[in-house]
Structure 1
Amino acid sequence: MKRRTVLRGLAGSAGSIMTIPALAQDRYPERPIRLVVAFSAGGPTDLMARRLAERLGAHLGQSVVVENKTGAAGTIGATEVARARPDGYTLIVAVSSSHAIAATLMRRPTFDPVKDYAGVAVLGTVPMALAVHPSFPARTLQDFLRVAQDAPEGLSYGTSGAGGIAHLSGELFQREARGIKLTPVHYRGASTALQDLLANNIPIVMDTMASIAEPYRGGQVRILATFAEQRSPYLPDLPTAREQGLPGVVSNTYNAVLAPAGTPASVLATLNGAVRTALADPTMQAFMASNLVDPFPDPTPERTMVFIRSELEKWRPVVQATGLSME
Structure 2
Amino acid sequence: MNRRNLLLSSVALAAAIASPLAQAVEQPIRLIVPFAPGGPLDVTSRVLAERVRDTLGTVIVENKAGAGGNIGVDAIAKAAPDGKTIGLATVATHAVNPWLYKKLPFDAGKDFVGLTQMVRVPNVLVINAERAKELKINSVADLVAYGKAHPGKLSYGSGGNGSAGHLAGEMFKQGMQFTAVHIPYRGASPAQLALLAGEVDFNIDNLAAASANIKSGKLKALAVTSLDESSLLPGVPALSKQIKGFAIDTWWGLVAPAGTPADVVEKLSKAFSDALKDPETQKRFATLMAEPVPTTSKQFDDFMAAERTKYGPVVKASGASVD
Q: TM-score, normalised by structure 1?
A: 0.86
- Any idea what the Cα deviations from partners look like across 1:282-322, whole Å, max 9, x if unmatched? 332122111111232x5111110111111111111111223
Structure 1 residues 87 and 234, CA gap change in structure 2 (3 angstroms): same
Pair 1:180–1:85, CA change in 2 (3 A): same
Which of 287, 292, 313 lines up with 1:295 in the alignment? Answer: 292
Matched, 1:304 2:303: no
Q: Provide the alpha-carbon RMSD of the alignment.
A: 2.0
Code of the aligned partner of 1:143: D
1:318 equivalent to 2:319? Answer no
Determine which of 25, 40, 47 is the counterpart of 1:29: 25
Q: CA deviation at 1:214?
A: 1.7
Aligned to 1:140: 139
Structure 2 match to 1:12:
none
Tell me which residue corresponds to 2:72: 77
Aligned equivalent of 2:227: 229
1: CA distance, partners of 2:260 / 2:179: 46
For residues 252 and 294 of structure 1, the distance between their equivalents in structure 2, rounded to whole angstroms, comes to 11
Once the two structures are superposed, residues 212-232 of structure 1 have per-residue CA deviations (whole angstroms, 9 ceiling, x without a partner) of 112212222211111012222
Distance 2:311 2:18 in 1: 39
**What SS does the aligned partner of 1:119 have?**
strand
Equivalent position of 1:264 in the other structure: 261
1:10-61 residue CA offsets vs partner (Å, 9 max, x unmatched)? xxxxxxxxxx99932356413111111111122221111111112222322x
Q: How does 1:277-296 map to 2 (within 5 A)?
A: 277-296=274-293
Q: Is the 8 A contact 2:40 2:208 kept in 1?
A: no
Question: Which residue does the alignment assign to 1:59?
Answer: 55
Correspondence for 1:93: 88
The answer (yes or no) to whether the contact 2:83–2:256 under 8 Å persists in 1 is: yes
SS in 2 for 1:270: helix
Residue 154 of structure 1: how far off its partner (Å): 4.8
Q: Is the 8 A contact 2:158 2:203 kept in 1?
A: yes
Work out the number of aligned pairs and report it: 304
What is the TM-score with the length of structure 2 in the denominator? 0.87
Say which is worse superposed, 249-258 or 214-223, in terms of deviation.
214-223
- 2:151 maps to 1:152: yes
The residue type paired with residue 82 of structure 1 is A
Partners of 1:154 and 1:180 within 8 A in 2: no
Correspondence for 1:106 among 101, 111, 124: 101
- Give me the whole-angstrom Cα distance separating, in 2, the residues matched to 1:22 and 1:148: 66
Asked whether the equivalents of residues 137 and 147 of structure 1 are also in contact (C-alpha less than 8 Å), the reply is: no
Equivalent pair of 2:33/2:88 in contact (CA under 8 Å): yes
| SS at 2:251 equivalent | strand
How far apart, in 1, do the equivalents of 2:18 and 2:188 lie?
Answer: 47
- 1:200 corresponds, among 198, 201, 210, to 198
* Runs of 4 or more consecutive aligned structure 1 residues displaced over 6 Å after TM superposition: none
Asked if structure 1 preserves the Cα contact closer than 8 Å seen for 2:282 and 2:292, the reply is: no
Q: Which amino acid aligns with 1:64?
A: V
What SS does structure 2 have at the residue aligned with 1:253?
strand
